[in-house]
Amino acid sequence: MKKLFILTSLAGLALVLANCSGSRKLAAAPKLNYETSLKAVVATECAPCHIPEKGGKKKPYDSYASIKTDIDEIIRRIELNPNDRGFMPFRKTAKLSDSTIALFKQWRADGLLEK
Ligand code: HEC
């Protein structure tokens, strides 16, 4: 009797676990990548200064490699406040929107994918 009870409990537990991982897979959002999610944002928000094509003379951020390498510093600077030293985008009076800042952080969390 005791054995049966343990067996049924284990089967129940297995069912619950199987369901959990199933729903987690369904809920997971697709991972962000540079080509689709970051490139256009940087080209808009960090131009002209960091986009050589637009006449930018600062460190170029027009490629996947440069954004990937500097992502920690980029996130640090866009999270500063406009009066802080080092704040980006330089000389703007407002920070990027929360959702734009979140995009950079999510991209890093997702593993810095190119496409
Ligand atoms: C109006 C021009 C301008 C814009 C727009 C601008 N920057 Fe900058 N950026 C600068 C200047 C000038 C420097 C050099 C001075 C400094 O380091 O603070 C710089 C430096 C940086 C650095 C340090 C680079 C290094 O040499 O290590 C980072 C990172 C950076 N910017 C990120 C950004 C990001 C991300 C954006 C867009 C969200 C942005 N910047 C928008 C002018 C700009």
Position 3 scores a pLDDT of 67
- Number of domains the chain is built from: 2
- Going from the Cα of 44 to the center of ligand 1, the distance in angstroms, rounded, reads 13
Question: Is there a domain that residue 115 lies in?
Answer: no
pLDDT tens readout for residues 22-58: 555 677 789 999 999 999 999 999 999 999 999 999 9
Q: Which domain holds residue 91?
A: 34-109
Q: What is the best residue among 88, 99, 107 to mutate for testing ligand 1's pocket, by most ligand atoms within 8 Å of CB? A: 88
Whether omega for the bond prior to residue 89 falls within 30 degrees of 0, making it cis, is yes
CA distance 78 to 89: 7
Q: How confident is the model at residue 13 (pLDDT cuts 50, 70, 90)?
A: low
- The residues, any chain, with a CB within 8 Å of residue 34's CB and separated by 6 or more, are 64, 67, 68, 107, 112, 113, 114, 115
pLDDT tens readout for residues 63-78: 999 999 999 999 999 9
The finding on whether 62 has its CB within 6 A of some atom of ligand 1 is no
Question: Is there a domain that residue 101 lies in?
Answer: yes
40 plus 64 within the same structural domain: yes
Residue 33 near residue 111 (C-beta atoms within 8 A): no
The finding on whether 67 has its CB within 6 A of some atom of ligand 1 is no
In ligand 1, the atom with minimum distance to the C-alpha of 74 is: 29
Question: Is there a domain that residue 114 lies in?
Answer: no
73 plus 101 within the same structural domain: yes
pTM for the full model? 0.82
Q: Whose structure tokens read 């990548």?
A: 33
Position 27 scores a pLDDT of 75
43 plus 92 within the same structural domain: yes
Position 53 scores a pLDDT of 96
Position 114 scores a pLDDT of 98
49 plus 70 within the same structural domain: yes
